[in-house]
Structure formats: C-alpha cells, structure tokens
Amino acid sequence: GWKVSMKSGSLSYVLPCNRLPVQLMSQVRVYTSNGQKKDLGSQDTNGSARGETLHKVETGQDTTNAGQKQSSPKQPIQVKVKPVLKKREYGPKYTQNNFITGVRAINEFCLKSSDLDQLRKIKRRSPHDDTETFTVYLRSDVEAKSLEVWGSPEALARERKRRKEAEIKYRENLFRNQRLLWEYKEFFGNTKPRSSTAAMFFKGPGKVVMVAICINGLNFFFKLLAWVYTGSASMFSEAIHSLADTCNQALLALGISQSARTPDPSHPYGFTNMRYIASLISGVGIFMMGAGLSWYHGIIGLLHPHPVESLLWAYCILAGSLVSEGATLLVAINEIRRSARAKGLSFYQYVVQSRDPSTNVVLLEDAAAVLSVAVAATCMGLTSLTGNPYYDSVGSLGVGTLLGTVSAFLIYTNTEALLGRSIEPEQLQRLTEFLESDPVVRAIHDVKATDMGMSKVRFKAEVDFDGRVVTRSYLEKQDIEQLLQEIQQVKTLEELEAFMLKHGENIVDTLGAEVDRLEKDLKQRNPDVRHVDLEIL
C-alpha cells in the first residue's frame, strides 16, 4: 500500500497512509494590536531543527518506483489579528483628572484669585439647589500653578503650616475678634445674613416660653414670701417648684436662641437639636431641684413636725398662682393644638412624639403646677382643720412625686428625639412609592428616614437606576443624525475609545442630573424632608 516517510530531526518513520498528499505540520502566527507575535504549532524535538517551519513529505507508488518523489505543496501562513485595547494602570492614587473649586484651590494651595484667572475654567453641574452650574479647575493645573508661584513643594508646605498656625491663633482669640466685628459691623455691612433671634420670642414656642418665665418668676417671689410668713412645708415646695420652672424655662429660651444659628463647617446640619438638649437638661433640673428638694422638705417635716402659722396669706397666694399658672397652661395648649393641626397630628401624638420640645416642657410644667397647687391647698386645708402638721408634709411629698413624674417623661421623650428615631411608617411608605413610580428607578433598597427634630427629616436610600432609561434620556437631547455620523466615522480602536469616553461621561452627568431631579421633587412634595441622600446601587 501507499506509505509515507516522515523525517523529524535524525529519526525517520514509515507510516501507512491512505490519503495523499498529507501535510504533517503547519505554522500559525497570531498578531495582536500591540505588535506581539505568537507561534502556534509543534516544534522540532531536536534543537538543530528549530528553524524549519514546514516538513517535507516523501511519497512513492511502489517499491520498484522508489526513485520517484513527490513533495506536498506549501500551505499559506494563516494570520489571526486580535484587537486588544491597552489597559491603563492608574496606581493606588490618581488625582490627575480631579476637579476642585476655586475656594479649595485658594485655601489648600495658597493661591490668589488672580492666579486662577490664568487657568482653564470648566463648567460642571452644581451640587447646590440655587445654581445649575459652577466653575471648577483641573487639580493638575492648580498643582502646577502652585509650584510655579511658590517655587518648590517645600516652600508650599511652609506656607500651609504658617497659615494653619495663624488660623489656630485666630480661633484662640475668637472672642476678641467677635467684639471687633461687632464694633465695626457698620463698616462691614450686611455681608452675611443674620437671623433675628429677638423676633422668635414674639410668636410660637418663643412667646409661650417668655410668658411662662414672667409668670413663674412672679409666682416664685410671692410663694417665697408666703413660706417665710407661714413656715408651711407645702408652700416651700411650691416656691421651689416655681423657681425650678423659672430656671428651666430660661434654659429653654437659651435653647431656642441657639437653635436659630446658621450651620457652619463643624455643624453642617445646623443647631436644631439645641432645643431638645435644653429640654433634656430642663427635665433633669426639675428632677434634681424640684422633686429632690420637695421630697427632702416633706421627709424632714414628717421626722420633725412643727405647728403651722396662719395660712390665710398662703391661700391667697395659691389662688393667684392657680390663675396665673392656668393662663400659661392655656397659652401652651393653644400653641400645641395649632401646631398639631398644621402637621395633621392629634394633640396626644404631638406631645408624645415631642415635636416641639420647648412648648412641651411649658405644657407639662404648667400642668404639674396647677395640679401641685391643688394638692398643696388640699393638704394645707386638712392641716388647718385638724391641726395635724403631717398632712402638710404629705402634700410636699405629693408635689415632689408629681414633679418627678414630669421630669421622667421629659427625659424619655427628649432622649428618644436626640437618638434619631424613624419617621412614621405611613410617611415612609409615601416617600418610597414616590421614588418607585419614577421610570428611571428600577428598585430602592435600604431605605432610612430619620427625624432630626423640629419636623426635619433626613432621607437615605440605595437606588437601582435603569441604565436604558438614563441613556434614552441622554439621546433625546442629542442630534441623532450627527451622532450616527460620528458612529460611522469610527474605524480604529483609538477613535472608538474617544467616542465612548466622550458619550460615557455625558451619560454619567445625565445620571447625576436625574438624581438631582428626584431629590428636588422629593423635597417639594414633602416639605419635612430637608436632606436627601440617594446612593446609586
């Protein structure tokens, strides 16, 4: 039969074969776009034959015609080109494409505004609600400019250190600087908006607190005179109660004025919680001063009873205190009813949720004052009828217990508010449904809505955006014919990369604009929502 003789190095093989001609070896070379070449196929087992690319094949028809040889024709080399985009290595820290604002450039790189005029200005979408675009600078340009101005990184570091020391010194002398600013306020003019704290005490919770301060101050003065005249333990408790109310409400007024301060870099969300802090301290003060002294005086009266003098003046002062405390209580009740009606809550829900801590404190203190006046008058009356001073001491203990209950409630409600509790489930469901009804949102996860106090809500959610809808929104704003021409002109990898980078960045900007739109709509439909954080999933 037909046989094939194959040479491989110094060895030769005779193989039976039914097909002629036979190509035993072929070489395939693969080229990539970066110029590298790969050889595929078997190489000679002997090092002397590595250079050969094709092996010769000898054939014959019979053993008698062994002289005739036929070699197989050479096959063309197959070339496969695989396009590969070269991967860029950015390293662990890459800031060459970062944008920074002019304020950061001046503060962090010690430049002047005139230095920034020579740099490239880039318009970007603004993160603030009041402006649509703002100007930023490329960080690499700013760094190069700072080195040009200061000469070396060491000189720039020394200037930063000097400015930091000057800032620390300024903060140490802050009180003196504030006095200078106050003296020269006419020179500076209205460069910064200032909130009028005085106007806060003529309406709303401020008005309630100021009325309570005035009435409780007068009550303390007259009750103190009645205690000095009669020596009644219940009257002493009432005087201490009025003093505690006056001090606590002065503390509430301080909290209201501090809560109106504008946010600063150290407190970006403002000082709203100062009202809750003042109310919490007020609750502790009621417990320590009011309840503690009332219990102490009542226990001393039980251990060492002494006869009570004429209680006529005490009854008159208690009657006047009942009228004044009742008037303050009505003012607080009307304010809470008005605020609860505006929020769509019941009176009880508004008080328990501590929506307005300052008014709550006044309400509870005045309610306790009215009840304590009734308790003190009853016990003093029993003492007058029976001549037994123990009733008067029991009245002092009753007033102390009443104040302790009020203080415990205030401590609990204000602590809950300061911890950051969640909003009502119905309100959270409305916010969730509003986001899910938007076509750009696929789903939302990890929803958190925290009541920051004073009807201010912070909303946070992980949002799964529909990339197709975002891309379609971008395409609707483009010239489709021009975009199609750009696509048809793409021939090389470099042109494809430039095309994708250009439109990819624009699509990301479109996604950012959609996030801003959702946050703005969420705040407009729900005025309580002040801070919205939508994170892209």
Domain containing residue 137: CATH number: 3.90.530
Of the candidates 373, 352, 378, the residue with the CA atom closest to the CA atom of residue 363: 352
Query: pLDDT (tens digit, 9 = 90+) per residue, 65-102?
Result: 444 445 555 666 666 556 666 677 777 777 778 888 88
Of 419, 435, 461, the last residue of a domain is 419
Q: Let me know if residue 260 belongs to a domain.
A: yes
Q: Are residues 447 and 498 in the same domain?
A: yes
Q: Are residues 377 and 440 in the same domain?
A: no
Of the candidates 61, 141, 57, the residue with the CA atom closest to the CA atom of residue 98: 141
Q: Which structure tokens are listed for 418?
A: 């300061």
The secondary element (H helix, E strand) that includes residue 530 is strand 529-536
The residue with greater pLDDT, 4 or 536, is 536
Q: Are residues 464 and 410 in the same domain?
A: no
Q: Buried (b) or exposed (e) across 387-398, using 16+ Cβ within 10 A? A: eebbbbbbbbbb
Which residues have C-beta within 8 Å of that of residue 432, sequence separation ≥ 6?
444, 447, 461
Do 9 and 25 meet the contact criterion of CB atoms below 8 Å apart?
no
Find the helix packing angle between 425-436 and 493-525, rounded to 10°. Answer: 140
Report residue 19: phi and psi, to 5°.
-125, 130
Q: Are residues 339 and 472 in the same domain?
A: no
Where residue 474 falls among pLDDT bands split at 50, 70, 90? very high
Q: Are residues 183 and 201 in the same domain?
A: no
Sheet holding 57-59, edge to edge: 11-16, 3-8, 57-59
Residue 43: is its pLDDT beyond 70? no
Residue 138: is its pLDDT beyond 50? yes
Of 188, 216, 233, the last residue of a domain is 188
Where residue 470 falls among pLDDT bands split at 50, 70, 90? very high
The residue with greater pLDDT, 230 or 15, is 230
CB atoms within 10 A of CB 20: 12
Q: What is the mean pLDDT of residues 252-275?
A: 83
Predicted TM-score (pTM) of this structure = 0.61
The secondary element (H helix, E strand) that includes residue 169 is helix 153-172
Q: Let me know if residue 53 belongs to a domain.
A: no
Query: pLDDT (tens digit, 9 = 90+) per residue, 381-432?
Result: 888 888 788 888 888 888 888 888 888 888 888 888 888 788 888 889 999 9
Q: Let me know if residue 58 belongs to a domain.
A: no
Q: Are residues 161 and 308 in the same domain?
A: no
CA distances from 523 to 401, 435, 436, 531 (A): 45, 12, 16, 8
Where residue 55 falls among pLDDT bands split at 50, 70, 90? very low
Q: Are residues 139 and 256 in the same domain?
A: no
Q: Are residues 300 and 373 in the same domain?
A: yes
| CATH of residue 484 | 3.30.70.1350
Residue 286: is its pLDDT beyond 60? yes
Q: Let me know if residue 174 belongs to a domain.
A: yes
Which residues have C-beta within 8 Å of that of residue 229, sequence separation ≥ 6?
309, 313, 314
Beta bridge mates, 531: 458
Of 419, 444, 469, the last residue of a domain is 419
Q: What is the mean pLDDT of residues 221-243?
A: 80
Give the structural domain span for 156.
Answer: 99-188
| CATH of residue 352 | 1.20.1510.10
Query: pLDDT (tens digit, 9 = 90+) per residue, 4-24?
Result: 444 444 444 444 444 444 444
Q: Quick one: pLDDT at residue 74?
A: 60
Q: What is the mean pLDDT of residues 498-504?
A: 91
Q: Quick one: pLDDT at residue 67?
A: 46
Q: Are residues 294 and 435 in the same domain?
A: no
Where residue 459 falls among pLDDT bands split at 50, 70, 90? very high
Q: Which ranges of 437-492 would DSSP assign to H, the alpha helix? A: 467-475, 480-488
Whose tokens are 């001073």? That residue is 389
Q: Let me know if residue 375 belongs to a domain.
A: yes
Q: Quick one: pLDDT at residue 27?
A: 47
Report residue 336: phi and psi, to 5°.
-70, -40
Do 470 and 439 meet the contact criterion of CB atoms below 8 Å apart?
no
Do 136 and 124 meet the contact criterion of CB atoms below 8 Å apart?
yes
Q: Are residues 210 and 263 in the same domain?
A: yes
Q: Are residues 329 and 276 in the same domain?
A: yes
Q: How many domains does the chain have?
A: 3
CA distances from 215 to 208, 254, 320, 328, 332 (A): 11, 18, 11, 8, 13
Average pLDDT of every residue of the chain: 77
CB atoms within 10 A of CB 383: 23
Q: Let me know if residue 409 belongs to a domain.
A: yes
CA distances from 257 to 144, 176, 206, 273, 341 (A): 47, 22, 9, 12, 25
Lowest model confidence (mean pLDDT) among 237-241, 280-284, 456-460:
237-241
Question: Is the backbone peptide bond immediately before 21 cis, with ω within 30 degrees of 0?
Answer: yes
The strand pair at 122-125 and 133-138 is best described as: antiparallel
Q: What is the mean pLDDT of residues 297-319?
A: 78
Query: pLDDT (tens digit, 9 = 90+) per residue, 236-256?
Result: 877 887 887 788 888 888 888
Q: Let me know if residue 56 belongs to a domain.
A: no
Where residue 440 falls among pLDDT bands split at 50, 70, 90? very high
Q: Are residues 108 and 134 in the same domain?
A: yes
Q: Let me know if residue 25 belongs to a domain.
A: no
Of the candidates 55, 57, 74, the residue with the CA atom closest to the CA atom of residue 3: 57
